[in-house]
Amino acid sequence: MARHVRFHETGGPEVLKIEEVETPKPREGEVLIRVHALGLNRADSMYRSGRYVIEPQFPATMGYEASGYIDAVGAKVKGLAVGDAVSVFPALMFDEYGLYGDLVVAPARAVVKNPEGVSWETAAATWMPYTTAWGALIDIANLSEEDFVVLGAASSSVGLAAMEIAHSVGATPIALTRKDEKAQELLKAGAKHVLQVGVHDLEKEIMALTHGKGARVVFDPVTGPDFENIIKATSKDAIVFIYGALSHDATPIPVMHILGKHTTIRGYEFIEVTADDEKLARAKKFISEGMESGQFKAKVAKVFPFDQIVEATQFLESNAQFGKIIVTVN
């Protein structure tokens, strides 16, 4: 038998239940993973509460991020074997797979071997945020050493990953956050420039930091009323990525600036990487090399045991974390 986190109705974290289920068997192209650590994601909360792009089918499970040993291998799986220490890329959907459990099945194309010396917790905290950031900043924007990139919600796991990726190619990140304590944490984490939303004049400060040129890239999961001033601080031919909607307020758009500066504003999802085998392979290589070199060190905010999945999720939704929340399983 296996233990999976499931829910039978949408709602708050309290609807999550740990239940015994039959141990799943990997089908063709799949592997069975004995999970040691899993990462929590805001998409998990949106799905559980009924606010995601797909509707849960009950009983439902979820989870994009996990690390552990391969326990069994399905037919036609190449390059992976029983006993391999691996992590799972977010190349799957909740209505097909869920990684909140001790024995879970994942598609082999979404599985990557862990670099030596990387802990289960670090491995589980790495692939989702770094893949998300890589797709926008490297694959699409082609970020380089001459660029400034504005990072909304910079203290999130994706924001921190984006900051390290920017540093790795010589670009200059400008980190945005609302809370003073998170601003201090960002400085400790290596951010050279940190601005507080609601405290600093974002347009004025970003323009000053970029020597009047504006930022060429914006990577933001928040939007809302402050988004207008961020866009006004972009350069000619800038690209603005929206990869979330954490603010529930209206988002004004400076139309004349966009027209005059030829600004591109686009929605972005990590599935743009994970649905494409060629991009996925390049992302794996880039991130693995960054982990092996020590450039990429995923920040773990707090670790909870599996039996405290409700408490871990409540902490996620409190927005108090700095980095990734991890749940240890075995």
Cα–Cα distance, 226 to 130 (Å, whole number): 25
Cα–Cα distance, 100 to 65 (Å, whole number): 9
On whether the CB atoms of residues 4 and 104 are closer than 8 A, the answer is yes
Show the low-confidence residues of the chain (pLDDT under 50). Answer: none
Burial of 95 by CB count in 10 Å (0-12 exposed, 13-18 middle, 19+ buried)? middle
Q: Is 240 helix (H, G, I), strand (E, B) or coil?
A: strand
Domains 2-126+299-328 and 145-267 belong to one CATH topology: no
CATH number of 2-126+299-328: 3.90.180.10
**What pLDDT is recorded for position 92?**
84
On whether the CB atoms of residues 234 and 214 are closer than 8 A, the answer is yes
Which residue bears the tokens 């529930």?
Answer: 248
Tokens of 216: 């060429």
Q: Are strands 17-21 and 65-73 parallel, antiparallel or unpaired?
A: unpaired
188-206 confidence digits (pLDDT tens): 888 889 999 989 999 999 9
Burial of 4 by CB count in 10 Å (0-12 exposed, 13-18 middle, 19+ buried)? buried
Tokens of 81: 């074997």
Domain 145-267 classification at class level: alpha beta
Among candidate residues 40, 300, 286, 277, the one with its CA nearest the CA of residue 165 = 286
Could you count the other beta carbons within 10 Å of the beta carbon of residue 128? 26
Amino acid at 23: T
**What pLDDT is recorded for position 104?**
97
Q: Are strands 215-220 and 148-151 parallel, antiparallel or unpaired?
A: parallel
On whether the CB atoms of residues 63 and 98 are closer than 8 A, the answer is yes
Boundaries of every domain in the chain: 2-126+299-328, 145-267
Tokens of 214: 């504006």
**What pLDDT is recorded for position 160?**
95
39-60 confidence digits (pLDDT tens): 998 888 989 998 887 889 999 9
